């Protein structure tokens, strides 16, 4: 059985060969804990949970180590804590915010069927390792101190840009470069920055301060997985600058030895055809969705798209996913089977092709269906997904009326859309010869 994965570093699908089959190691950048996670943030969590489960299936549960960090040192956290601190000390407000947000995150991703990773380091627990890493970079001529900051000198790293596949000049032209008087080169990035007394800070050779985000991940991955590990993952937006900078720091500190062999990135999630953003108001939190939709439905809806493709997240898609799960959970064997169909597993081995694997489940025997569902992180039990709330009759009547009026205006495309929309909710329409429309529930 050969697992093939698309490596952003080489831009090719490659056979996955672990450095050590008795210790397969994966690092995925986790959340910055200052606010509720949105459904886009859930995408890497679910995608890499499926990969974690597949690796455990292939190499044995005891032989896979998955690290997903918690970023609890960050300027967005400080700003949010400042807003809600009231009369409390800033550090207390930060601690309360990160603890509370972290707890909500754990509840949310557990409801989406994700296993806890093997290790979940918090940045605040690894500051000495970050300082040691920066000291090594300064000693090696890869970093310099300037006005209380320590910066990484990208000109010291000829490989800079190898993950993003861009040259330094292209990056300078394309980036919104922050001009700062303490930088030697425009792309140099912060490893350490000063904290005044109102901000979280740690003593260091460069004064009281705090690490930059990129440095946090490099130090935590080194502490838990070693200098070189197998897989590093995250969303596509992290390729540059976050992962490029992690590579530059770690490889410069480790005499050029690779940080990770395979770099995997999930595509972006858009909501109802638009880029999700707070200003658009389509910023759907996992928490809000879980109030109306079972976690398994959200999980299936995520996995129906290949992880490298963009997802358009829609209510319609969630309804379809619910219909599929209802059918599957009725058909699956109640005893969780471990048997899986070969075509199902082959699909997952081919760069985690979950839509193909799901297509194979539609054809699978009940026992193999259950085995496949368990591997994908579902719990095939009709009790897991509550009965779908009945659609109010007035809502159906309203939709039928809307459809009739667009039909009169000869907008048949819209009329079909309304009909299909109702069908995904299990409501089938029938147009009668006398011009009326009747409906029946079919689930």
Q: Would you state the structure tokens that stand for residue 421, as one six-digit string?
A: 């929309």
Confirm or reject binding of residue 345 to Zn ion (CB under 5 A). no
Neighbours of 60 (CB within 10 A): 12
Report the residue number, 77 or 187, with the smaller CB distance to ligand AMP.
77
- Residue 59 parent element (H or E): helix 39-59
- Tell me the CA end-to-end span of the chain in Å, nearest whole number: 38
User: Quick one: what does residue 43 bind among ligand AMP, Zn ion, none, with the CB cut-off 5 to 8 Å set by partner type?
Assistant: ligand AMP
Report the residue number, 5 or 217, with the smaller CB distance to Zn ion.
217
Which positions from 202 to 221 touch Zn ion by CB under 5 A, shown as an x/- string? Answer: ---------------x----
Q: Would you state the structure tokens that stand for residue 61, as one six-digit string?
A: 């549960």
Give the C-alpha separation, 361 to 129, whole Å.
46
Q: Which stretch binds Zn ion (CB under 5 A): 29-37, 102-110, 293-301, 306-314?
A: 29-37
Q: Would you state the structure tokens that stand for residue 258, as one six-digit string?
A: 């690779």
User: Quick one: what does residue 268 bind among Zn ion, ligand AMP, none, with the CB cut-off 5 to 8 Å set by partner type?
Assistant: ligand AMP
Site residues (CB under 6 A) for ligand AMP? 29, 31-32, 40-41, 43-44, 234-235, 237-238, 266, 268-269, 276
CB 211 within 8 A of CB 123: yes
Report the residue number, 30 or 372, with the smaller CB distance to ligand AMP.
30
Report the residue number, 143 or 271, with the smaller CB distance to ligand AMP.
271
User: Quick one: what does residue 142 bind among ligand AMP, Zn ion, none, with the CB cut-off 5 to 8 Å set by partner type?
Assistant: none
Q: How far is the CB of 272 from ligand AMP (least distance, A)?
A: 13
Q: How far is the CB of 10 from Zn ion (least distance, A)?
A: 20
DSSP β-ladder status, 64-68 and 209-211: unpaired
Report cis status (omega within 30 of 0) of the bond before 282.
no
Query: Residues 144, 170, 261, 213: is their CA dihedral positive or negative?
Result: positive
C-alpha distances in angstroms, 139 versus 142, 143, 209, 250, 379? 8, 8, 19, 14, 52
Report the residue number, 32 or 204, with the smaller CB distance to ligand AMP.
32
User: Quick one: what does residue 217 bind among Zn ion, ligand AMP, none, with the CB cut-off 5 to 8 Å set by partner type?
Assistant: Zn ion
Report the residue number, 29 or 224, with the smaller CB distance to Zn ion.
29
Place of tokens 């010291």: 156
Confirm or reject binding of residue 29 to Zn ion (CB under 5 A). yes
Give the C-alpha separation, 421 to 314, whole Å.
11
Give the C-alpha separation, 132 to 144, whole Å.
14
Report the residue number, 211 or 235, with the smaller CB distance to ligand AMP.
235
Q: How far is the CB of 275 from ligand AMP (least distance, A)?
A: 8
Q: Which stretch binds Zn ion (CB under 5 A): 11-19, 28-36, 106-114, 160-168?
A: 28-36
Angle at 240 between CA 208 and CA 137, to 5 degrees: 40
Give the C-alpha separation, 67 to 14, whole Å.
22
Report the residue number, 18 or 235, with the smaller CB distance to ligand AMP.
235
Number of residues that bind Zn ion (CB under 5 A): 2
Q: What is the DSSP letter of 239?
A: I
Q: How far is the CB of 238 from Zn ion (least distance, A)?
A: 7
Q: How far is the CB of 437 from ligand AMP (least distance, A)?
A: 39
Q: How far is the CB of 15 from ligand AMP (least distance, A)?
A: 25
Listed in sequence order, the residues at least 6 apart from 18 whose beta carbon sits closer than 8 Å to its beta carbon are: 24, 25, 59, 230
Confirm or reject binding of residue 3 to Zn ion (CB under 5 A). no
Closest of 304, 237, 291 to residue 50, by C-alpha: 304
Chain residues in the site for Zn ion (CB under 5 A):
29, 217
């Amino acid at each position: 059985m050969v697992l093939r994965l698309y490596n952003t570093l080489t831009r090719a699908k490659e056979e996955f060969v672990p450095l050590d089959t008795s210790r397969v190691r994966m690092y995925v950048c986790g959340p910055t804990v200052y606010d509720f996670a949105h459904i886009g943030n859930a995408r890497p969590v679910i995608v890499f949970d499926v990969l974690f489960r597949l690796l455990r299936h292939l190499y044995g549960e005891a032989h896979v180590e998955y690290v997903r960090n918690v970023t609890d040192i960050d300027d967005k956290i400080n700003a949010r804590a400042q807003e809600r601190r009231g009369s409390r000390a800033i550090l207390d407000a930060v601690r309360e915010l990160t603890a509370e947000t972290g707890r909500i995150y754990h509840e949310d991703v557990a409801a989406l069927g994700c296993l806890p990773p093997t290790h979940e380091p918090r940045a605040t627990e690894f500051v000495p390792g970050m300082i040691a890493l920066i000291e090594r970079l300064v000693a090696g001529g890869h970093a310099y101190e300037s006005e209380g900051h320590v910066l990484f000198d990208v000109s010291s790293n000829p490989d800079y840009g190898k993950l993003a596949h861009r040259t330094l000049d292209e990056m300078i032209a394309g980036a919104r470069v922050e001009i700062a008087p303490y930088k030697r080169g425009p792309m140099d990035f912060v490893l350490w920055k000063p904290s005044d007394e109102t901000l979280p800070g740690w003593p260091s050779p460069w004064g009281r301060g705090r690490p930059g985000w990129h440095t946090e991940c490099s130090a935590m991955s080194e502490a838990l997985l070693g200098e070189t590990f197998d897989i590093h993952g995250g969303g596509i937006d992290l390729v540059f600058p976050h992962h490029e900078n992690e590579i530059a720091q770690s490889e410069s500190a480790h005499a050029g030895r690779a940080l990770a062999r395979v770099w995997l990135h999930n595509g972006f999630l858009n909501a109802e055809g638009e880029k999700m953003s707070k200003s658009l108001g389509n910023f759907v939190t996992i928490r809000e969705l879980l109030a109306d939709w079972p976690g398994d439905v959200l999980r299936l809806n995520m996995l129906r798209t290949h992880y490298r493709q963009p997802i358009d997240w829609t209510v319609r898609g969630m309804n379809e996913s619910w219909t599929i799960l209802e059918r599957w959970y009725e058909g699956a064997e109640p005893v969780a089977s471990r048997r899986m169909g070969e075509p199902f597993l082959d699909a997952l081995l081919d760069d985690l092709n979950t839509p193909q694997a799901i297509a194979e489940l539609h054809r699978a025997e009940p026992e193999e269906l259950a085995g496949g569902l368990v591997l994908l992180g579902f719990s095939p039990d009709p009790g897991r997904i509550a009965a779908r709330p009945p659609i109010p009759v007035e809502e159906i009547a309203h939709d039928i009326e809307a459809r009739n009026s667009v039909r009169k205006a000869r907008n048949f495309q819209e009329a079909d859309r309304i009909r299909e929309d109702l069908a995904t909710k299990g409501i089938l329409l029938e147009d009668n010869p006398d011009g009326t429309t009747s409906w029946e529930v079919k689930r």
